Chain A
Amino acid sequence: DVKVTQSSRYLVKRTGEKVFLECVQDMDHENMFWYRQDPGLGLRLIYFSYDVKMKEKGDIPEGYSVSREKKERFSLILESASTNQTSMYLCASSFVTQGYGYTFGSGTRLTVV
């Protein structure tokens, strides 16, 4: 079964820490995405990447950066975690070919204290 795997299901970090969220997909997808999901706000796109070493800002990139050194791995980095970054983080991937749907990971629930 094809998979998008997020490294942690739950994380608790302190304010000011540098946080790495890892995502790996085994489907040879070109596109990868990071979303955050908060109650009442739905899913909001943070960053996406359509190729190795390529990245594009989504709707809410402030306070985040990303890294894509290999096709199968897309990392989200919180440079200095803050309490307003407490959220559910979801990684997704897809083929670049027009019209294909996304495959999502199970999510990482991050709490910043």
Chain B
Amino acid sequence: LAKTTQPISMDSYEGQEVNITCSHNNIATNDYITWYQQFPSQGPRFIIQGYKTKVTNEVASLFIPADRKSSTLSLPRVSLSDTAVYYCLVGDGGATNKLIFGTGTLLAVQP
């Protein structure tokens, strides 16, 4: 199972763009890259998923280089409510390749 490495914590200010990078050197051909957000005392919430190049939705963008050994979650113009733990995972989520959560990145947004 592919493991991921991401920073333990990051600080930002309201209105800034935040980029969280995740490395996954052993990503397999069938693996997707998925990011989750978790607020205290809540379950993780799916943010975005991609396989290659760039994916954008109403919440975030995900940039994946050609070799797929890393990915970057980009949060535009963060607000205080974006303070949360962000998890990067790789896998196809199926029975033979379930998603493994690491300890995530604690993003602290300050006013």
A residues at B contact (CB < 8 Å): 4, 31, 33, 35, 40-45, 48, 50, 56, 58-59, 88, 90-92, 94, 96-107, 109
Contact = CB atoms under 8 A, between A and B. Distances in A.
Contacts of B104: 42
A76 to B, nearest CB: 14
Interface stretch (B17-25, B70-78, B88-96): B88-96
B98 A106 contact: no
Contacts of B49: 99-101
B77 to A, nearest CB: 24
A106 B94 CA distance: 22
B95 A43 contact: no
A6 B44 CA distance: 14
Given A48-B98, A107-B42, A31 B103 contact: no
Nearest to B51: A99
Interface of B is mostly: loop
Interface of B: 30, 32, 34, 36, 41-46, 49, 51, 87, 92-95, 98-104
A35 B101 contact: yes
A107 B42 CA distance: 6
Given A42-B104, A99-B49, A106 B43 contact: yes
Contacts of B45: 104
A8 to B, nearest CB: 14
Nearest to B48: A101
20 contacts: A4-B43, A31-B93, A31-B95, A41-B103, A42-B102, A50-B95, A59-B100, A92-B43, A96-B95, A98-B92, A99-B32, A99-B93, A100-B49, A101-B36, A102-B46, A105-B43, A106-B42, A107-B41, A107-B42, A107-B43
> 3 tightest CB-CB pairs across the interface, nearest first?
A104-B43, A50-B95, A43-B101
A100 B46 CA distance: 10
B43 A90 contact: yes
Nearest to B35: A101
